[in-house]
Amino acid sequence: MNGLDLAKRVGLQLGECKSFSEPIDCPATELEKFLRGKIDDGIVVAWQVQSVVWGSFDGKKFFFKDNTAPNVDDWLECRIFNESAEIHLKRSGNKFIGRFIRDAAGNGTFCVDSFSRLWGECTAATGDWITLTDKPRKISMTLPCAGDGKKFYGLLTRNYIGSDDATGLSGYVDYRFVAIEPADWDGD
């Protein structure tokens, strides 16, 4: 069982990983164009002025449920991620500033993989999309994830550990989203 599988079962898993990180600064109007060649494909989550939206990126273009076009003008923050990399951006005026992090390249470090169940139960699965609904709170969200007939889903996160040269203390220095996975195990 690999570290990601174990993290999904026990919540946290310490391991070794290699990663490379670089800063990003791009005009908001050219976000899709800028992302081409940086990340091949992935899940997109964007925090907008009025809501949080989930979609996917195929290496060239964003896709959202029901083929709605993204309104990047409303985005305050976004993450585009897959199992090996993530781009995390925050709006700063008319541009996005952030970082690109990729595993399996760069300096060796330690990391902690963690798995957290997302709120709600799967109430609909259509193709590569699922809808999680929290009925008591009357809220739902639609995510790009194959509906495997599971009731619960969660977010797998990788947390990178580093140390402070002055104090010698270690702690989390960065984290990234990795995947959305089923969270039904052993009848739970």
What does the pLDDT look like over 87-137, one tens digit per residue? Answer: 999 999 999 999 999 997 556 788 999 999 999 999 999 889 999 999 999
How many domains is the chain partitioned into structurally? 1
The predicted pLDDT at position 1 comes to 41
Among 44-48, 63-67, 102-106, 139-143, the least confident range: 102-106
pLDDT mean across residues, the chain: 87
Query: And the tokens for 54?
Result: 């989930």
Q: Indicate yes or no: pTM above 0.85.
A: yes
Q: Is residue 152 part of a domain?
A: yes
Residues sharing a CB contact under 8 Å with residue 124, sequence separation 6 or more, in sequence order: 130, 131, 142, 147
Considering only residues 7 and 146, tell me which one the structure prediction assigns the higher pLDDT.
146
Q: In which band, very low, low, confident or very high, does the pLDDT at 68 lie, cut at 50, 70 and 90?
A: confident
Query: And the tokens for 170?
Result: 């270690």
The predicted pLDDT at position 49 comes to 87
Residues sharing a CB contact under 8 Å with residue 24, sequence separation 6 or more, in sequence order: 34, 87, 89, 96, 97, 98, 99, 100
Helix (H) or strand (E) holding 33: helix 31-35
Q: Is residue 187 part of a domain?
A: no
Q: Give residue 126's domain range.
A: 3-182
Considering only residues 16 and 98, tell me which one the structure prediction assigns the higher pLDDT.
98
* Rounded Cα–Cα distance for residues 51 and 72 (Å): 12
pLDDT at 8 over 60: no
- Pick from 78, 84, 77, 76: which is nearest to 101 by CA? 84
* Rounded Cα–Cα distance for residues 170 and 25 (Å): 28
The predicted pLDDT at position 10 comes to 59
* Rounded Cα–Cα distance for residues 31 and 103 (Å): 22
Q: Is residue 188 part of a domain?
A: no
* Rounded Cα–Cα distance for residues 118 and 125 (Å): 16
Q: Is residue 94 part of a domain?
A: yes
